[in-house]
Amino acid sequence: MQRPLALSSEDFRALAHSLSDFTADYLERLPTLRSYPEHIRGVAIQQLFSGDIPQQGLGSAAFDLLPEIFENSRPASPRFFGYVFGSGEPIAALGQFASAVLHQNATAWRSGPSANAIERTVVRWLASAIGCEGFSGSLTLGGSSANLMGLCMAREAKAPANQSGVRGGVLYCSTEAHMSNTKAAALLGLGHDSVRLIPVDDAFRMRAEALREAVRHDLSAGLKPVAVVASAGTTATGSIDPIREIAALCREHNLWLHIDGAFGALASLAIPEAFDGIDLADSISLDPHKWLYQPTGCGCLLYRDPADARRAFSHSGDYARSLSTDPIEGFAFFEESIELSRPFRALALWLSLRYFGLRAFQQSISDDLHLAQVLASFIDAEPRLERLAPVALSAVCFRYIGKSGGAGSSDLDDLNRRILDRVIRRGRVYLSNATIHGHFSLRACIVNHRTTEPDVHAIVTEVLAAADELQG
Ligand SMILES: Cc1ncc(COP(=O)(O)O)c(C=O)c1O
């Protein structure tokens, strides 16, 4: 019987060859591409891809629209500085391809022996690379899901809810913390109102004494403090909260310490001294798809004690429970994670790390940190620009103020908004934005293994050119 989805090995080989040629050509052209395609418009793209589902297969013509998809995408170019978004190094892409062909379920040893073993190895590598030797963990979809899981473990450890439902609990993070933490509070049934946003100092770091005061206040009101989220790299400015001080307070009050290191924790490969106390955390999120330049979809949650993960996530049904009691062959990630089916994400990261070696990643992160300082010095030397925040990691926040610097602050907000739009449309660098002390800020973030000094210099020339254009 010929099954309808059968594919001959000749056809697979031919398609794979042409796909590898196509993607290799694309990578060759990448440095020359505009940082944002000129022609991208919502309706046009929607129309391009809005055809009906084909009733009859198109065969190899199914791939015909691939050039349009690539054309209408924002390239991972050396001049992409938006958000906190890694640059996607291609060895990892080959890993993803191999992983999809192999099609394992890495969730348990018995459903994917190598995949399961390699994920455990990669997690161990990551823990030891950031100075948290002995931590366990698993790969996640990204930083948001790692934060959700970390805070779920916190809630279950300090104010158990899995059995009888949520009975309250208070979380603490700084006013600069990432939105995924408040989202997690909502998803966990604690609610936004039980998140205390602690004020920050001039360097955008959580003020530990304000945290202490907030905890004291909640305790005297009869509430149940559960966890503190310390940011190791806030999204806007990259500031790192005083982890050691916060950890001491957590210990004093029996609070869970979760570190949101989705942006910054991996920078401890290059500047470990900036992350003093990271190993005191109960759980840490970090994002290989940011600062290990992995393709999107690779985060990680590390935790000190796997029993905490099992308390939160182990709800095994008989259909999934392992028959083996062997610590290796009986191991299942689903006992310690939200996910049951689990892709073989670790293969991409494992291949990248083996291909280049940890030192190359350390150097690349160092280069990114250095380039951010170079950009800050270009900005500081240019009187028409004003830097709006210290550069703790690789995010640089600044704005155009013009020659006199005399425009009103709402005029400057509006002007910088228009400058950002113009810079993106000019297509030579891609920036995003942040709000700093209530002001609209241009923001360049360098988590890009392709960027070099001329690329960061282009940020300054492009912002000035856009401002000149707008001001006639
Ligand atoms: C500090 C911080 N936490 C969490 C996240 C969310 O990570 P992800 O986009 O991988 O879900 C980000 C994203 O930029 C971040 O900067």
DSSP 8-64: -HHHHHHHHHHHHHHHHHHHHHGGGS-SS-TT--HHHHHHHT-PPPPSS--GGGGGG
What radius of gyration, in Å, describes the C-alpha atoms of the chain?
24
- Which backbone phi and psi does 294 adopt, to 5 degrees? -80, 160
238 lines ligand 1 (CB under 6 A): no
Question: What whole-number distance in Å separates Cα of residue 294 and Cα of residue 355?
Answer: 13
Question: How many angstroms is it from 464 CA to the middle of ligand 1?
Answer: 30
84 lines ligand 1 (CB under 6 A): yes
DSSP state of 208: H
235 lines ligand 1 (CB under 6 A): yes
CATH of 359-470, one of 3.40.50.261, 3.30.70.60, 3.90.1150.170, 2.40.480.10: 3.90.1150.170
Atom of ligand 1 nearest to the CA of 234: 1
- Which backbone phi and psi does 442 adopt, to 5 degrees? -75, 150
Atom of ligand 1 nearest to the CA of 264: 1
Question: How many angstroms is it from 179 CA to the middle of ligand 1?
Answer: 8
225 lines ligand 1 (CB under 6 A): no
448 lines ligand 1 (CB under 6 A): no
User: For residue 250, which of 276, 229, 222 has the smallest C-alpha distance?
Assistant: 229
User: Would you write out the chain's pLDDT as a tens digit for each of its 472 residues?
Assistant: 899 999 999 999 999 999 999 999 999 999 999 998 887 778 888 898 998 999 999 999 999 999 999 999 999 999 999 999 999 999 999 999 999 999 999 999 999 999 999 999 999 999 999 999 999 999 999 999 999 999 999 999 999 999 999 999 999 999 999 999 999 999 999 999 999 999 999 999 999 999 999 999 999 999 999 999 999 999 999 999 999 999 999 999 999 999 999 999 999 999 999 999 999 999 999 999 999 999 999 999 999 999 999 999 998 666 666 778 888 999 999 999 999 999 999 999 999 999 999 999 999 999 999 999 999 999 999 999 999 999 999 999 999 999 865 567 779 999 999 999 999 999 999 999 999 999 999 999 999 999 999 999 999 999 999 999 999 8
How far from chain centre, in Å, is Cα 138? Answer: 15
Q: Are 230 and 260 in contact (CB under 8 A)?
A: yes
CATH topology of domain 94-356: Aspartate Aminotransferase; domain 2 (3.40.640)
- Which backbone phi and psi does 261 adopt, to 5 degrees? -105, 25
261 lines ligand 1 (CB under 6 A): no
394 lines ligand 1 (CB under 6 A): no
386 lines ligand 1 (CB under 6 A): no
Question: How many angstroms is it from 262 CA to the middle of ligand 1?
Answer: 5
CATH 3.40.640.10 domain range(s) in the chain: 94-356
Question: How many angstroms is it from 12 CA to the middle of ligand 1?
Answer: 37
Q: Which residues contact 189 (CB under 8 A, 6 or more apart)?
A: 161, 165, 166
Q: How much is the pTM? A: 0.96
Four-point Cα dihedral 201, 206, 209, 210, nearest 10:
90
260 lines ligand 1 (CB under 6 A): yes
H or E stretch at 186: helix 179-187
CATH 3.90.1150.170 domain range(s) in the chain: 359-470
